[in-house]
Structure 1
């Protein structure tokens, strides 16, 4: 469980936590990002998890989403 800062959007704090887990190797290449597990662990709603995943996918390019299969950690971070 994270101690949430009320001055920062909750979805952003969740995205930061997921990013930290990816960079620490807790979530590895090709691992499924489980919305249900994160929802329970981080005690946030599913829309909050989805907004965080969308940010990590669309802005940071850390994960990819395959329709019908889920969201996965990308193999390599793209070059800036």
Structure 2
């Protein structure tokens, strides 16, 4: 588990970790990203928080969902937005 900053929503912090893992190749293109259950276990978060993080990655174009199979890293890696 990671230590969460109290002033940033947990789902955003999970998104940042997953975004970094996609960028560094931990999750290469077309590979499956962790499921909601796996994220809840790894980060100690609620299922709704994990779902929100996965939706955010999909909205950024970093992942796509195959119904019944899970979420996968997109083929093209968009550049990571700077904050």
**Which band: TM-score by shorter chain?**
0.7 to 0.9
* Corresponding position of 1:47: 48
Native 8 Å contact 2:62 2:73 kept in 1: yes
Shift in Å at residue 53 of structure 1? 0.7
For 1:73 and 1:13, locate their aligned partners in 2 and report how far apart those are by CA, in whole Å. 18
TM-score w.r.t. structure 2 length?
A: 0.84
What is the alpha-carbon root mean square deviation over aligned residues?
1.5
For each residue in 1:27-48, what CA deviation from the matched residue of structure 2 results, as whole angstroms up to 9, or x when unmatched? Answer: 1111112222222111111111
Written as runs of structure 1 = structure 2, the 5 A alignment for 1:15-26 is 15-26=15-26
Native 8 Å contact 2:23 2:77 kept in 1: no
SS of the equivalent of 2:2 reads coil
Written as runs of structure 1 = structure 2, the 5 A alignment for 1:39-78 is 39-58=40-59, 60-78=60-78
- Unaligned stretches of 5+ residues in structure 1: none
The number of residue pairs the alignment matches comes to 78
